[in-house]
Chains A and B, each alone.
Chain A
Amino acid sequence: MSSTARNSPPSSWNDQRIELIIGHLLRFGVLLSASVVILGGLVYLARHGQTTANYRVFHGDQSPLRTIAGILRGTMQLSGRAIIQFGLLLLIATPIARVVFSAVAFLRERDYLYVAFTLAVLAVLAYSLFGSPH
Protein backbone atom coordinates (compact mmCIF):
# COMPACT_ATOMS: atom_id res chain seq x y z
CA MET A 1 0.00 0.00 0.00
CA SER A 2 2.73 2.45 1.00
CA SER A 3 4.52 2.15 -2.35
CA THR A 4 1.26 2.87 -4.17
CA ALA A 5 0.68 5.92 -2.01
CA ARG A 6 4.15 7.21 -2.77
CA ASN A 7 3.75 6.74 -6.51
CA SER A 8 0.31 8.28 -6.78
CA PRO A 9 0.10 11.98 -7.72
CA PRO A 10 1.27 14.24 -4.89
CA SER A 11 -2.12 15.91 -4.53
CA SER A 12 -4.62 13.08 -4.85
CA TRP A 13 -6.98 14.74 -2.37
CA ASN A 14 -7.05 17.77 -4.65
CA ASP A 15 -7.73 15.50 -7.60
CA GLN A 16 -10.86 14.24 -5.88
CA ARG A 17 -12.09 17.76 -5.18
CA ILE A 18 -11.44 18.81 -8.77
CA GLU A 19 -13.33 15.79 -10.04
CA LEU A 20 -16.27 16.77 -7.86
CA ILE A 21 -16.31 20.32 -9.24
CA ILE A 22 -16.05 18.90 -12.77
CA GLY A 23 -19.06 16.71 -12.00
CA HIS A 24 -21.08 19.78 -11.03
CA LEU A 25 -19.84 21.71 -14.08
CA LEU A 26 -20.87 18.94 -16.46
CA ARG A 27 -24.27 18.55 -14.86
CA PHE A 28 -24.89 22.30 -14.96
CA GLY A 29 -23.87 22.51 -18.64
CA VAL A 30 -26.02 19.55 -19.62
CA LEU A 31 -29.08 20.75 -17.67
CA LEU A 32 -28.74 24.29 -19.05
CA SER A 33 -28.41 23.12 -22.65
CA ALA A 34 -31.21 20.56 -22.25
CA SER A 35 -33.49 23.31 -20.89
CA VAL A 36 -32.75 25.54 -23.88
CA VAL A 37 -33.31 22.59 -26.26
CA ILE A 38 -36.66 21.83 -24.56
CA LEU A 39 -37.69 25.49 -24.79
CA GLY A 40 -36.79 25.67 -28.49
CA GLY A 41 -38.44 22.29 -29.04
CA LEU A 42 -41.74 23.50 -27.57
CA VAL A 43 -41.69 26.60 -29.81
CA TYR A 44 -40.81 24.43 -32.81
CA LEU A 45 -43.51 21.82 -32.09
CA ALA A 46 -46.17 24.44 -31.37
CA ARG A 47 -45.52 26.05 -34.75
CA HIS A 48 -44.61 23.07 -36.91
CA GLY A 49 -45.87 19.99 -35.02
CA GLN A 50 -48.52 19.18 -37.60
CA THR A 51 -46.27 19.51 -40.65
CA THR A 52 -44.81 16.39 -42.25
CA ALA A 53 -41.42 15.15 -41.05
CA ASN A 54 -39.18 14.24 -43.97
CA TYR A 55 -35.48 13.77 -43.49
CA ARG A 56 -34.84 11.34 -46.33
CA VAL A 57 -33.01 13.94 -48.40
CA PHE A 58 -30.08 15.93 -47.04
CA HIS A 59 -30.47 19.73 -47.23
CA GLY A 60 -28.13 20.55 -44.37
CA ASP A 61 -25.57 22.23 -46.60
CA GLN A 62 -28.08 25.07 -47.17
CA SER A 63 -29.09 25.49 -43.51
CA PRO A 64 -28.53 28.94 -41.96
CA LEU A 65 -27.89 27.13 -38.65
CA ARG A 66 -24.44 25.91 -39.73
CA THR A 67 -22.57 28.86 -38.24
CA ILE A 68 -22.48 30.34 -34.74
CA ALA A 69 -23.51 33.73 -36.23
CA GLY A 70 -26.49 32.15 -38.01
CA ILE A 71 -27.61 30.38 -34.82
CA LEU A 72 -27.40 33.60 -32.76
CA ARG A 73 -29.31 35.55 -35.42
CA GLY A 74 -32.10 32.97 -35.50
CA THR A 75 -32.25 32.78 -31.71
CA MET A 76 -32.73 36.57 -31.55
CA GLN A 77 -35.68 36.16 -33.92
CA LEU A 78 -37.08 33.48 -31.54
CA SER A 79 -37.04 30.76 -34.19
CA GLY A 80 -37.69 27.40 -32.50
CA ARG A 81 -35.12 25.58 -34.61
CA ALA A 82 -32.49 28.23 -33.91
CA ILE A 83 -33.14 28.07 -30.15
CA ILE A 84 -32.71 24.27 -30.24
CA GLN A 85 -29.48 24.71 -32.17
CA PHE A 86 -28.32 27.30 -29.62
CA GLY A 87 -28.96 24.73 -26.88
CA LEU A 88 -26.91 22.19 -28.86
CA LEU A 89 -24.13 24.75 -29.11
CA LEU A 90 -24.15 25.08 -25.30
CA LEU A 91 -24.01 21.28 -25.13
CA ILE A 92 -20.94 21.17 -27.38
CA ALA A 93 -19.38 23.88 -25.18
CA THR A 94 -19.88 21.82 -21.99
CA PRO A 95 -17.05 19.28 -22.41
CA ILE A 96 -14.89 22.12 -23.76
CA ALA A 97 -15.55 24.07 -20.55
CA ARG A 98 -14.54 20.94 -18.66
CA VAL A 99 -11.21 20.87 -20.48
CA VAL A 100 -10.64 24.59 -19.79
CA PHE A 101 -11.37 24.01 -16.11
CA SER A 102 -9.00 21.02 -16.04
CA ALA A 103 -6.22 23.23 -17.44
CA VAL A 104 -6.73 25.72 -14.60
CA ALA A 105 -6.89 22.92 -12.04
CA PHE A 106 -3.67 21.28 -13.26
CA LEU A 107 -2.00 24.70 -13.28
CA ARG A 108 -2.97 25.24 -9.63
CA GLU A 109 -1.52 21.82 -8.82
CA ARG A 110 1.66 22.89 -10.66
CA ASP A 111 1.35 19.76 -12.77
CA TYR A 112 2.80 21.35 -15.90
CA LEU A 113 2.91 18.09 -17.83
CA TYR A 114 -0.87 17.83 -17.56
CA VAL A 115 -1.29 21.55 -18.27
CA ALA A 116 0.50 20.86 -21.57
CA PHE A 117 -1.66 17.79 -22.30
CA THR A 118 -4.82 19.77 -21.59
CA LEU A 119 -3.77 22.71 -23.78
CA ALA A 120 -3.04 20.28 -26.62
CA VAL A 121 -6.60 18.95 -26.37
CA LEU A 122 -7.95 22.54 -26.28
CA ALA A 123 -6.02 23.45 -29.43
CA VAL A 124 -7.63 20.55 -31.31
CA LEU A 125 -11.10 21.57 -30.07
CA ALA A 126 -10.51 25.20 -31.12
CA TYR A 127 -9.52 24.07 -34.59
CA SER A 128 -12.78 22.13 -34.98
CA LEU A 129 -15.02 25.01 -33.86
CA PHE A 130 -13.25 28.00 -35.36
CA GLY A 131 -10.60 26.78 -37.76
CA SER A 132 -12.70 24.78 -40.20
CA PRO A 133 -13.65 26.34 -43.55
CA HIS A 134 -17.38 26.97 -43.92
Chain B
Amino acid sequence: MSVLLFTLLVLLGSLIAGFLGSLTGLGGGVVIVPLLALVFHVDMRYAIGASLVSVIATSSGAAAAYVREGFSNMRIGMFLEIATTIGAIVGALIATHVATSTIAIIFGLVLLYSAYLSLRPQPAHAIGEKQDAIARALHLDGAYPTTKGSQPYTVHSIPLGFSFMFGAGTLSGLLGIGSGAVKVLAMDQAMRIPFKVSTTTSNFMIGVTAAASAGLYLARGYIDPGIAMPVVLGALAGSMLGARVLVHTRTKALRIVFSAVIVALGIEMIYNGFTGRL
Protein backbone atom coordinates (compact mmCIF):
# COMPACT_ATOMS: atom_id res chain seq x y z
CA MET B 1 0.00 0.00 0.00
CA SER B 2 1.33 3.45 -0.89
CA VAL B 3 1.87 6.05 1.80
CA LEU B 4 -0.82 8.23 0.21
CA LEU B 5 -3.50 5.51 0.24
CA PHE B 6 -2.51 4.43 3.75
CA THR B 7 -2.84 8.05 4.92
CA LEU B 8 -6.29 8.50 3.35
CA LEU B 9 -7.71 5.23 4.69
CA VAL B 10 -6.37 5.80 8.20
CA LEU B 11 -7.74 9.35 8.05
CA LEU B 12 -11.23 8.05 7.22
CA GLY B 13 -11.16 5.30 9.86
CA SER B 14 -9.97 7.72 12.53
CA LEU B 15 -12.67 10.21 11.59
CA ILE B 16 -15.40 7.64 12.25
CA ALA B 17 -13.68 6.49 15.44
CA GLY B 18 -13.36 10.05 16.71
CA PHE B 19 -17.01 10.80 15.95
CA LEU B 20 -18.38 7.75 17.78
CA GLY B 21 -15.89 8.06 20.61
CA SER B 22 -16.88 11.64 21.26
CA LEU B 23 -20.63 10.96 21.13
CA THR B 24 -20.45 8.06 23.56
CA GLY B 25 -17.83 9.60 25.83
CA LEU B 26 -15.78 6.44 25.46
CA GLY B 27 -13.09 8.12 23.36
CA GLY B 28 -11.85 7.29 19.88
CA GLY B 29 -8.68 5.59 21.15
CA VAL B 30 -10.49 2.38 22.02
CA VAL B 31 -11.24 1.86 18.33
CA ILE B 32 -8.14 3.42 16.78
CA VAL B 33 -5.58 1.00 18.26
CA PRO B 34 -7.46 -2.15 17.08
CA LEU B 35 -8.11 -0.47 13.72
CA LEU B 36 -4.41 0.23 13.17
CA ALA B 37 -3.18 -3.08 14.58
CA LEU B 38 -5.78 -5.45 13.11
CA VAL B 39 -6.73 -3.78 9.81
CA PHE B 40 -3.57 -1.89 8.83
CA HIS B 41 -1.06 -4.28 10.45
CA VAL B 42 0.70 -1.49 12.30
CA ASP B 43 3.02 -2.52 15.15
CA MET B 44 1.23 -2.18 18.51
CA ARG B 45 3.73 0.41 19.77
CA TYR B 46 3.17 2.71 16.80
CA ALA B 47 -0.60 2.17 17.10
CA ILE B 48 -0.59 3.05 20.79
CA GLY B 49 1.61 6.11 20.20
CA ALA B 50 -0.60 7.49 17.41
CA SER B 51 -3.74 6.77 19.41
CA LEU B 52 -2.39 8.56 22.47
CA VAL B 53 -1.67 11.83 20.64
CA SER B 54 -5.04 11.62 18.87
CA VAL B 55 -6.63 11.28 22.29
CA ILE B 56 -5.07 14.63 23.27
CA ALA B 57 -6.49 16.22 20.12
CA THR B 58 -10.01 14.84 20.50
CA SER B 59 -10.15 15.64 24.19
CA SER B 60 -8.97 19.22 23.76
CA GLY B 61 -11.06 19.82 20.63
CA ALA B 62 -14.23 18.49 22.21
CA ALA B 63 -13.53 20.12 25.57
CA ALA B 64 -13.44 23.52 23.86
CA ALA B 65 -17.04 22.93 22.78
CA TYR B 66 -18.23 21.34 26.04
CA VAL B 67 -16.79 24.15 28.14
CA ARG B 68 -19.07 26.59 26.30
CA GLU B 69 -22.08 24.36 26.99
CA GLY B 70 -21.30 24.50 30.73
CA PHE B 71 -21.44 20.76 31.41
CA SER B 72 -17.87 20.08 32.53
CA ASN B 73 -16.70 20.70 36.09
CA MET B 74 -13.20 22.17 36.17
CA ARG B 75 -12.56 21.50 39.86
CA ILE B 76 -13.59 17.86 39.72
CA GLY B 77 -11.37 17.54 36.65
CA MET B 78 -8.31 19.15 38.17
CA PHE B 79 -8.58 17.27 41.46
CA LEU B 80 -8.93 13.88 39.77
CA GLU B 81 -6.15 14.67 37.28
CA ILE B 82 -3.68 14.25 40.15
CA ALA B 83 -4.66 10.56 40.20
CA THR B 84 -4.89 10.09 36.42
CA THR B 85 -1.53 11.70 35.56
CA ILE B 86 0.40 9.69 38.16
CA GLY B 87 -1.39 6.59 36.88
CA ALA B 88 -0.48 7.53 33.29
CA ILE B 89 3.25 7.65 34.13
CA VAL B 90 3.01 4.27 35.88
CA GLY B 91 1.16 2.81 32.88
CA ALA B 92 3.68 4.14 30.36
CA LEU B 93 6.55 2.72 32.42
CA ILE B 94 4.84 -0.69 32.60
CA ALA B 95 4.30 -0.62 28.82
CA THR B 96 8.07 -0.77 28.17
CA HIS B 97 8.48 -3.98 30.12
CA VAL B 98 5.55 -5.89 28.66
CA ALA B 99 5.38 -7.82 25.34
CA THR B 100 3.07 -6.30 22.70
CA SER B 101 0.99 -9.49 22.58
CA THR B 102 0.32 -9.11 26.32
CA ILE B 103 -0.70 -5.49 25.77
CA ALA B 104 -3.04 -6.68 22.99
CA ILE B 105 -4.73 -9.13 25.40
CA ILE B 106 -5.08 -6.50 28.14
CA PHE B 107 -6.44 -4.14 25.50
CA GLY B 108 -9.04 -6.71 24.43
CA LEU B 109 -10.15 -7.26 28.01
CA VAL B 110 -10.49 -3.52 28.55
CA LEU B 111 -12.59 -3.28 25.38
CA LEU B 112 -14.94 -6.03 26.58
CA TYR B 113 -15.21 -4.42 30.01
CA SER B 114 -15.90 -0.99 28.45
CA ALA B 115 -18.71 -2.48 26.43
CA TYR B 116 -20.16 -4.18 29.51
CA LEU B 117 -20.02 -0.92 31.47
CA SER B 118 -21.78 1.11 28.84
CA LEU B 119 -24.48 -1.51 28.27
CA ARG B 120 -25.50 -2.36 31.81
CA PRO B 121 -28.50 -0.50 33.21
CA GLN B 122 -27.74 2.88 34.73
CA PRO B 123 -29.07 3.26 38.26
CA ALA B 124 -30.82 6.61 38.47
CA HIS B 125 -29.28 9.15 40.81
CA ALA B 126 -31.49 10.37 43.59
CA ILE B 127 -31.97 14.13 43.47
CA GLY B 128 -31.59 16.21 46.60
CA GLU B 129 -29.17 13.83 48.29
CA LYS B 130 -27.20 14.79 51.35
CA GLN B 131 -23.94 16.57 50.68
CA ASP B 132 -20.65 14.75 51.07
CA ALA B 133 -18.22 16.31 53.57
CA ILE B 134 -15.13 15.84 51.38
CA ALA B 135 -16.97 17.19 48.33
CA ARG B 136 -17.90 20.29 50.29
CA ALA B 137 -14.35 20.78 51.59
CA LEU B 138 -12.99 20.50 48.05
CA HIS B 139 -15.74 22.65 46.46
CA LEU B 140 -16.58 19.84 44.03
CA ASP B 141 -20.34 20.31 43.87
CA GLY B 142 -21.73 22.14 40.87
CA ALA B 143 -24.67 22.73 38.57
CA TYR B 144 -25.32 22.02 34.91
CA PRO B 145 -27.71 23.48 32.34
CA THR B 146 -30.96 21.65 31.52
CA THR B 147 -34.05 22.66 29.59
CA LYS B 148 -35.65 23.52 32.95
CA GLY B 149 -32.74 25.73 34.01
CA SER B 150 -29.65 25.14 36.14
CA GLN B 151 -29.66 21.75 37.92
CA PRO B 152 -27.39 21.52 41.00
CA TYR B 153 -25.71 18.23 41.90
CA THR B 154 -23.56 16.85 44.69
CA VAL B 155 -20.52 14.58 44.47
CA HIS B 156 -20.01 11.40 46.52
CA SER B 157 -17.49 8.58 47.29
CA ILE B 158 -14.46 10.71 46.53
CA PRO B 159 -11.74 8.30 47.77
CA LEU B 160 -13.25 5.50 45.66
CA GLY B 161 -13.52 7.77 42.62
CA PHE B 162 -9.93 8.93 43.10
CA SER B 163 -8.65 5.31 43.19
CA PHE B 164 -10.62 4.47 40.05
CA MET B 165 -9.02 7.46 38.37
CA PHE B 166 -5.54 6.20 39.19
CA GLY B 167 -6.50 2.95 37.47
CA ALA B 168 -7.94 4.85 34.51
CA GLY B 169 -4.66 6.77 34.17
CA THR B 170 -2.61 3.55 34.31
CA LEU B 171 -4.69 2.00 31.53
CA SER B 172 -4.35 5.19 29.50
CA GLY B 173 -0.56 5.15 29.76
CA LEU B 174 -0.34 1.40 29.14
CA LEU B 175 -2.72 1.23 26.16
CA GLY B 176 -2.59 4.70 24.60
CA ILE B 177 -6.29 5.29 25.15
CA GLY B 178 -8.16 8.02 27.01
CA SER B 179 -9.88 5.38 29.21
CA GLY B 180 -13.02 7.45 29.09
CA ALA B 181 -15.05 4.37 30.04
CA VAL B 182 -13.29 3.97 33.39
CA LYS B 183 -13.33 7.72 34.01
CA VAL B 184 -17.06 7.89 33.30
CA LEU B 185 -17.58 4.80 35.49
CA ALA B 186 -15.76 6.47 38.37
CA MET B 187 -17.70 9.72 38.05
CA ASP B 188 -21.11 8.51 36.90
CA GLN B 189 -21.40 5.37 39.05
CA ALA B 190 -19.07 5.80 42.03
CA MET B 191 -19.18 9.55 42.55
CA ARG B 192 -22.79 9.81 41.28
CA ILE B 193 -22.13 12.82 39.08
CA PRO B 194 -24.80 13.37 36.35
CA PHE B 195 -23.99 11.49 33.15
CA LYS B 196 -23.42 14.49 30.90
CA VAL B 197 -21.21 16.17 33.49
CA SER B 198 -19.27 12.88 33.81
CA THR B 199 -18.72 12.43 30.09
CA THR B 200 -17.70 16.02 29.44
CA THR B 201 -15.46 16.29 32.50
CA SER B 202 -13.92 12.95 31.53
CA ASN B 203 -13.25 14.35 28.06
CA PHE B 204 -11.69 17.40 29.67
CA MET B 205 -9.35 15.26 31.79
CA ILE B 206 -8.32 12.86 29.06
CA GLY B 207 -6.00 15.38 27.36
CA VAL B 208 -3.95 16.05 30.46
CA THR B 209 -3.83 12.36 31.34
CA ALA B 210 -2.60 11.52 27.84
CA ALA B 211 -0.06 14.35 27.90
CA ALA B 212 1.42 12.77 31.03
CA SER B 213 2.35 9.59 29.17
CA ALA B 214 3.02 11.31 25.80
CA GLY B 215 6.46 12.54 26.92
CA LEU B 216 7.53 8.98 27.76
CA TYR B 217 6.03 7.65 24.50
CA LEU B 218 7.88 10.28 22.48
CA ALA B 219 11.22 9.44 24.09
CA ARG B 220 10.72 5.78 23.19
CA GLY B 221 9.84 6.43 19.55
CA TYR B 222 6.21 5.22 19.87
CA ILE B 223 5.00 8.39 18.14
CA ASP B 224 5.66 8.08 14.39
CA PRO B 225 4.61 11.15 12.37
CA GLY B 226 3.58 9.10 9.32
CA ILE B 227 0.91 7.24 11.32
CA ALA B 228 0.07 9.91 13.89
CA MET B 229 -0.68 12.56 11.22
CA PRO B 230 -3.79 10.93 9.66
CA VAL B 231 -4.91 9.50 13.02
CA VAL B 232 -4.78 12.87 14.79
CA LEU B 233 -6.40 14.84 11.97
CA GLY B 234 -9.14 12.26 11.38
CA ALA B 235 -9.96 11.72 15.05
CA LEU B 236 -9.96 15.47 15.68
CA ALA B 237 -12.39 16.24 12.85
CA GLY B 238 -14.63 13.36 13.98
CA SER B 239 -14.67 14.40 17.63
CA MET B 240 -15.47 18.02 16.81
CA LEU B 241 -18.46 16.84 14.78
CA GLY B 242 -19.47 14.58 17.66
CA ALA B 243 -19.28 17.40 20.19
CA ARG B 244 -21.69 19.46 18.12
CA VAL B 245 -24.20 16.64 18.05
CA LEU B 246 -23.86 15.55 21.71
CA VAL B 247 -26.18 18.09 23.24
CA HIS B 248 -29.04 17.06 20.96
CA THR B 249 -28.60 13.29 21.02
CA ARG B 250 -30.03 10.51 23.12
CA THR B 251 -26.98 8.52 24.16
CA LYS B 252 -28.56 5.11 24.84
CA ALA B 253 -29.08 3.70 21.33
CA LEU B 254 -25.71 4.99 20.29
CA ARG B 255 -23.95 3.36 23.20
CA ILE B 256 -25.47 -0.01 22.25
CA VAL B 257 -24.19 0.24 18.68
CA PHE B 258 -20.75 1.41 19.71
CA SER B 259 -20.54 -1.32 22.37
CA ALA B 260 -21.23 -4.01 19.78
CA VAL B 261 -18.29 -2.74 17.72
CA ILE B 262 -16.10 -2.67 20.81
CA VAL B 263 -16.99 -6.28 21.75
CA ALA B 264 -16.04 -7.50 18.26
CA LEU B 265 -12.72 -5.65 18.36
CA GLY B 266 -12.02 -6.85 21.89
CA ILE B 267 -12.43 -10.53 20.94
CA GLU B 268 -10.24 -10.00 17.88
CA MET B 269 -7.50 -8.32 19.95
CA ILE B 270 -7.49 -11.12 22.54
CA TYR B 271 -7.39 -13.80 19.83
CA ASN B 272 -4.51 -12.10 18.00
CA GLY B 273 -2.68 -11.53 21.28
CA PHE B 274 -2.85 -15.22 22.21
CA THR B 275 -1.81 -16.40 18.73
CA GLY B 276 1.12 -13.96 18.89
CA ARG B 277 0.12 -12.02 15.78
CA LEU B 278 0.20 -8.66 17.51
Contacts and interface: CB of A to CB of B under 8 A. Distances in A.
Asked if chains A and B come from one complex, the reply is yes
B218 interface: yes
A50 B4 contact: yes
Given A7-B136, A53-B2, A124-B85, A129 B215 contact: yes
Contact of A98 (B6, B45, B207, B222): B207
A50 B2 contact: yes
Contacts of A85: 223, 225, 228
A56 B82 contact: no
Given A7-B136, A85-B228, 10 more contacts: A15-B74, A30-B61, A41-B229, A45-B7, A60-B224, A81-B225, A92-B56, A99-B81, A128-B88, A132-B216
Interface size on B, as a range, is 35 or more
Interface string B36-61: 00001111011001000100110111
Nearest to A46: B4
Interface residues of chain A: helix, strand, loop or mixed (majority) = helix
A114 B64 contact: no
A126 to B, nearest CB: 9
Contacts of A58: 43, 45-46, 221
A130 B215 contact: yes
A24 B224 CA distance: 28
Interface in A82-121: 82, 84-85, 88-89, 91-92, 94-96, 98-99, 102, 111, 113-114, 117-118, 120-121
Interface in B202-227: 207-208, 210-216, 218-227
A114 B208 contact: no
B46 A60 contact: yes
A29 B169 CA distance: 23
Contacts of A55: 40-43, 46, 224, 226-227
A118 B75 CA distance: 10
B3 A128 contact: no
A45 B229 CA distance: 11
